[in-house]
Amino acid sequence: RYFSTPSGQKSKVNLSLNKDSAKVVHSFDIEDIGSKAVYCRCWRSKKFPYCDGSHSKHNEETGDNVGPLIIKKRDA
Ligand code: FES
């Protein structure tokens, strides 16, 4: 589903990151992730692509409910 402005124009998710690129892509080797990595999905992190907690402020301001993607090794 797309979000629309009152004028009907579709809005952007990425407001400020790497806007000179045609597409923002990050790639990580699974072997380099370590025991846990937390990735931003709200596009507001100052440490993008990693989550810095900025989703909390975004959710408060907008009523949204976005949060990070957490990848971790299973507890032994
Ligand atoms: Fe974007 Fe946490 S800062 S998901």
Is residue 51 in contact with ligand 1, taking CB distance under 6 Å? yes
Is residue 41 in contact with ligand 1, taking CB distance under 6 Å? yes
Q: What is the pLDDT of residues 24-54, one digit of tens each?
A: 999 999 999 999 999 999 999 999 999 999 9
**Distance, CA of 50 to CA of 75 (rounded, Å):** 22
Task: Take residue 18 and report the two structure tokens written for it.
Answer: 């790497």
Is residue 49 in contact with ligand 1, taking CB distance under 6 Å? no
**Distance, CA of 72 to CA of 75 (rounded, Å):** 9
- C-alpha 68 to ligand 1 mean position (Å): 5
**Distance, CA of 48 to CA of 25 (rounded, Å):** 11
Give me the active site residues, please. 23
Contact (Cβ atoms closer than 8 angstroms) between residue 27 and residue 33: no
3 or 35, higher pLDDT: 35
Length of the chain: 76
Give the predicted TM-score (pTM) of the model: 0.85
